[in-house]
Amino acid sequence: MNVLVINAGSSSLKYQLFQMQDESVLAKGRVERIGMETAIITHEPTGKPDVHEVSEILEHTTAIRRVIEMLVHPVHGVLTSTAQIDAVGHRVVHGGESFKQSVIVDEAVKKEIKRLFDLAPLHNPAHMLGISAVEINMPGVPQVVVFDTAFHQSMPATAYLYPVPMALYRKHKVRRYGFHGTSHKYVSERAADFLGRPLEHLKLVTCHIGNGASCAAILGGLSVDTSMGMTPLEGLMMGTRSGDLDPAIVPYAMGKEDLTLSEVSSMLNKHSGLQAISGISSDMREIVEALEAGDKNATLAFDMYEYRLRKYIGAYAAAMNGIDAIVFTAGVGENSELLRKTVCQQLSFLGVEFDEEANQKGRGLERRISKAGSKVEVLVIPTNEELVIARDTYELVQEKVD
């Protein structure tokens, strides 16, 4: 069975085609600048040269049509016909309280995703465009939706409620949902495998540190707390997002700087974090380069980023009454030796014995970066959200056929 995984954004769309028998990737790619006359499609078929094309792609239906044309192209393609795409899996950011796991798309599911537009106005509408575009281009092909929030639905009320009037929760579902769930679930399962210990017996802190960043406390395989909240703005300091701050800053800054709600929201989501403090970049590579060159603002930005992450790890150790392993994943977590080192060297009180040499080796591989015998193990596990989406899609579609 071949499964096409789609991550549709408002002006871009990423795809990966999996052959599920051996979980190999047949092709992957992305369409950027959807809505423009100069949209770019980048197609990477396995074992063949990459293709870059610029053409007019004004909406998602055309974007999906172009992706299918690439996949079945006589030269760049990897399939002989569209009929070889057996199912499509979509990443959907917000599943609210309605979706605790992945589901096959039907009318009721689409209605519910639309009802959740309010909670993820930038993401869910774009995902719906992706789902409709597949319906139009591949009528009858089963589609599955995999939610970023689903894995965190196991959190207890103690962790997911905010201490504000309950009417906000009852009437408007104001609560912590958490995000990056697909990644936290994947790396926690891989960590248990790597350690050769049953997931049910482990206390893990998983740190998904990319452009967006979140930590999760995973007890016995279930998420019991996570740093992102009702939206992906809460928690850790990120590339351009502030993470945690005193909510009173919002009305105060609005008054002092004469900002509208949308301006203050844009400030906290797009103009804060590493970018704001360093004044250089939201990209950790550039921050590290600048701090190595002695830039004070880059050093401060890095120190704040690291400090806030370390505090969350400490908090989750308290939440679970201990930790067996800390897992680093995503762009920064997998690649920044300096961040892992700075965080872990100051977690010796928890029983972390950090292995500096191991930290510098094996980029791209699952590995242990704590010393043998360390009370708390530290692992680097490359995440693979697309594979989880493909697996869930495959399983649900197989179940339906059986």
Using CB under 6 A as the criterion, which residues of the chain lie in contact with ligand AMP when the complex forms?
210-211, 239, 283-285, 288, 330-332, 335-336
Catalytic residues: 148
Helix (H) / strand (E) containing 290:
helix 284-292
Distance CA 223, CA 258 (A): 40
Q: Tell me how crowded residue 307 is: count the other CB atoms within 10 A of its CB.
A: 13
Output 278 or 336, the one with its CB closest to ligand AMP.
336
Q: Which is nearer to ligand AMP, 211 or 265 (CB)?
A: 211
Chain centre distance of CA 277: 23
Q: Shortest approach of ligand AMP to residue 9 CB, angstroms?
A: 13
Q: How far is the CB of 306 from ligand AMP (least distance, A)?
A: 12
| CB neighbour class for 173 (10 Å; exposed up to 12, middle 13-18, buried from 19) | middle
* 370 DSSP 8-state letter: B
DSSP letter for 311, please. Answer: H
Contact assessment for residue 388 and residue 186, using Cβ atoms and an 8 Å cutoff: yes
Nearer CB in complex with ligand AMP: 272/335: 335
Per the CB < 8 A criterion, the answer to whether 140 and 104 are in contact is no
* Residue with smaller CB distance to ligand AMP, 2 or 183: 183
**Nearest approach, Cβ of 138 to ligand AMP (angstroms)?**
28
Rounded-to-integer distance, Cα 59 and Cα 392, Å: 27
Residue whose beta carbon is closest to ligand AMP: 331
**In which element (H, E) is residue 39 found?**
strand 36-45
User: Shortest Cβ distance from residue 239 to ligand AMP (Å)?
Assistant: 6
Question: In the complex, what is the shortest distance from the CB of residue 12 to ligand AMP, in angstroms, rounded to a whole number?
Answer: 13
Joined together, the tokens standing for residue 201 give: 């017996």
Output 115 or 285, the one with its CB closest to ligand AMP.
285
CA distance 89 to 393: 5
